[in-house]
Structure 1
């Protein structure tokens, strides 16, 4: 298997799951600042021109959530359980994309991506709105996590890797994580995993 990645949000969860599952993957780094994700070779694999992409023999997977589920399936791991918990996991994947990480991702972009790629200063209006909306949805997550160790059932799943993906950057991205104790404690549990703390190959 080949995993095309860069050291940004979406590839982070794919790399973290691959490392957690100890799957033998050939990692191929794409330098986004040099436009390597837009070459004709890469666009033939992923016409969206984004990372990550997983190539597994003759199968190609574009999106990080699909990649994490495929890796778990290939490994026979309960990170992607083969029962009714799949519906609950899909709910959290969708919720993260539409709400929680939508706004946390805006803060990540304003404070981290703009600085990294020379795209200007954070937009105060975007920051204020994103922080307000993040607090709204973080409150939902915080309530769900009260008395729980992980998001779905009693064990780690791909939902945890996806929903938490912006939180390692909370301090630098001005994400108000400290306002939500249960979310913070949950992320601290993820930080006990080396694959979460250091997901990218060295």
Structure 2
């Protein structure tokens, strides 16, 4: 059985999607961010970064959301959530997964926690505004990539799609949210119909009404 240390709508959401998609045997363990439980001694013993999520697989703790998604996909090859070795789509899978986590997610973290990126509190508002502009440009890039495509990589769903859905949820209050882009909107609304996405959103308290 897998154990996923999570918090609703946090970076644990993508691994949660994948566990549901796999129909895996897993247990959700809530890490209460409101009480800073991710910084507790017990949690730090599993994940020294003090961040969410952490996956326990056969006693082995694994942290970093993208790493967990890749691990789950690799160790469940019949799911086809990652292209097989030798497939030309495999390099594209890693390209997009790295773009999503190292670029889009990283910039979203600056957007949500601008105070951590300045020593002058007067500049926080400017950082947030600049980040929204930067991330909107990234959404445009992804929208262009999805022209005429149902999935980000290849002809079937991959871990990248679940990761992008998570990041899109985080961006839904932008002046130009993901659902305002033609291709992204079509893509996200299709993903929102999947049983795994519906199940996770129900468990994590996210309404999918906007995706109908």
Q: Per-residue CA shift, 1:121-163, capped at 9, x if unaligned?
A: xx53233212211222222111111111101110100111112
Q: Which residue of 2 aligns with 1:78?
A: 80
> Matches of 1:49 and 1:167 in 2, distance apart?
24
- In the TM superposition, what are the counterparts of 1:83-122 in structure 2 within 5 Å? 83=85, 84=87, 85-107=89-111, 109=112
Write out aligned runs for 1:138-153 (5 A). Answer: 138-153=139-154
Distance 1:169 1:60, change over 3 A: closer
TM-score (norm: length of structure 1): 0.83
In structure 2, distance between residues paired with 1:43 and 1:90: 28
**What are the ranges of 5 or more consecutive residues in structure 1 without an aligned counterpart?**
111-122
- Could you tell me which runs of 5 or more consecutive residues in structure 2 were left unpaired when the two chains were aligned: 114-123, 205-212
User: How many angstroms apart in 1 are the aligned matches of 2:156 and 2:46?
Assistant: 34
The runs of at least 4 aligned residues of structure 1 exceeding 4 Å deviation read: 104-107
1:161 aligns with 2:165: no
Task: Verify the 8 A CA contact 1:100 1:163 in the aligned structure 2.
Answer: no
Q: 2:9 & 2:158 partners in 1: Cα distance? A: 21
Alpha-carbon distance in structure 2 between the residues aligned to 1:173 and 1:36: 29
Change (3 A) 1:104 1:37: closer
Report the TM-score when normalising by structure 2.
Answer: 0.79
Tell me which residue corresponds to 2:197.
196
